[in-house]
Structures are given as C-alpha cells and as structure tokens.
Amino acid sequence: MNREFKKIALTGLYADPRVAEPMRLIAAHLTGAKLAVLATPDIATELSVMAINAEALPNEVDLIIAVGGDGTMLHAASMTGGIDVPLLGVNHGRLGFLTDVSPDQMLESLDQILGGNYTRESRLRLVSTLELSNGSQISALALNDIVLQRRDTGRMLDFETRIADRYVNTYMGDGLIVATPTGSTAYALSCGGPIIDPQLDAIVVVPICPHTLSVRPIVIPANQAIEVTLLERHDTSAEISVDGHAMGPFGPSDKLLITPSETRITLIHPPGYDYYEILRSKLHWGRDSRKRKFGDGE
C-alpha cells in the first residue's frame, strides 16, 4: 500500500447523524489499515482517534478528509491556512461539487487512493485584504469567493471597481462577487456568472442585481489585482464575506484588495473523476424537464 498519506485528519459536522456514521466508518477503516488518524479534540474521542488542535493540524498531517458537503470542504480549506495540505471530499451533503467521493463507494475509493490510484488537482485561492480607514488590515484566504453585500439595509450600494489599477466601472446594486473557478459554480453562477474550468487561472467578477441591466459579469486573468471602494451614500451599510464567513463591515473610507494567493489548494480525486460528468450530474444537463413521472400532472 502506498504510504504517501501516513497521517490523515478527519473533519465534518459530527453533530449531523448523516455525517457522524460515515466518519466513524472511515476512522475505523483507516485505523485498521495501520494509518495514523487525527481529528480536532471536539470529535477525536467520538471517533477513537488522536486529538490535535486545529492550528497545529496542517503541519502534522499528509491528507485531510472532509465528510459532508461543499461547506465542509471550504472549512477544511480554511483549516490549512497557507499550507498546501491535500483535501479529499466525501459527499454527504446536497450538491457536492467539491466532495466527489460518493457515499456508496466511500471505502473502496479510499483504498484505491491509499494505494496510489488517484489524481491531484491544484486549485486557485484568492487573498482578500480589507484596508480599514484607521490604518489596520484584515486578510483572509478564499477558495470559493469574496462577496461585497448590503448589510442591515434595503438600500442599494454604490461602489467603484478597478482592475490592474485601471478604472472599470462604478456599480449600483446589491453587491459584488469575485470568484475563483472553484467558486464559479456557487453564488456567482446563481447571479448569472459563467462556469470556469478549474484548470484556468482566471477570476470572475459578478455584480449582484445591478441597477443597470447592461452591467455583466467579466472574466479576468488571476494575476490582475482587483480594488473595490464603497462610495458615500446616505444610510450605506455593507460587509465583506469570504467563503461564506463574515470578514467584517465595509465603509466608504475602506478599501478591498483582492489578489491571487501564493499558495494553492490540492484536491485529491478518486479514479474516474470527470469534471464535466459532475456538471452534468449536479446541474441536470441533458435531462428533459418535460418528462414527468405518472401522476405529476400535465
């Protein structure tokens, strides 16, 4: 058996029974294969594995297995910090664009991967830096997207966007999404953005409900920095979120800077992985919506 992955961490929402059972099965399977299995202290005892603090985890393990949905994979990515620890997703969520190991083939896929039969894929990450008016900075890494959105108000936002230090547009709307190829199938897609192949080093900038309908999403090279400033407007209140987690409030005197991260995320895929098959499956491409089961009505 390939011993590239000697220390393996497990993560997932253990409070969810749909996740807890497969986590226990995986932990027992890996332990039986004489591998070192680790988890954060809150679930290590339940899984009968070694406990390790989340801060120390990326320096100690060779692989992180995330059991759940895409949100769990994003959480696992955030646990790595700036360290490129490979991630493997076991799908027990809903869509599962990132968690591509199916529940019914979970242990079989694990054995193949541990035996060296797998593929690696490098995914782009972004750095979101919020430069506050008081001179301080807040930074966070994004695997999916960085979102500027309204906060506690029904009013639209006015904000200016610059790319590679060139003025692009002044938007009026509900906000702005800056997404990686990984995040192009998430919030950005629901707002009319394109799907970007994960092998491309590109970023999509998607306005959220723009006041001017001619304002459309734009795809740019990943090496071009994006700068966003909020314009002064009565009762303006905005915030920044990174991969679904609040980064902080965003005011007219602040600046949001988005750049590519020097570190990337490595995803481990089981044999037979096909990105386009995942798109067909998750987005129901090629299915005739007119065909209904008997009794569904006309």
Q: Catalytic amino acids?
A: 70
- Residue 249 CB coordination number (10 Å): 14
Pick the closest to residue 149 from 182, 97, 184, 191 (CA basis). 191
Radius of gyration of the chain (CA): 21
Number of Cβ within 10 Å of residue 237's Cβ equals 15
Q: Are 158 and 169 in contact (CB under 8 A)?
A: no
Q: Under a CB-based contact definition with an 8 Å cutoff, are residues 74 and 144 in contact?
A: yes
Cα end-to-end distance, the chain, whole Å: 56
Q: How far apart are CA 28 and CA 3, in angstroms?
A: 18
User: Which residue, chain included where needed, has tokens 């096909």?
Assistant: 274
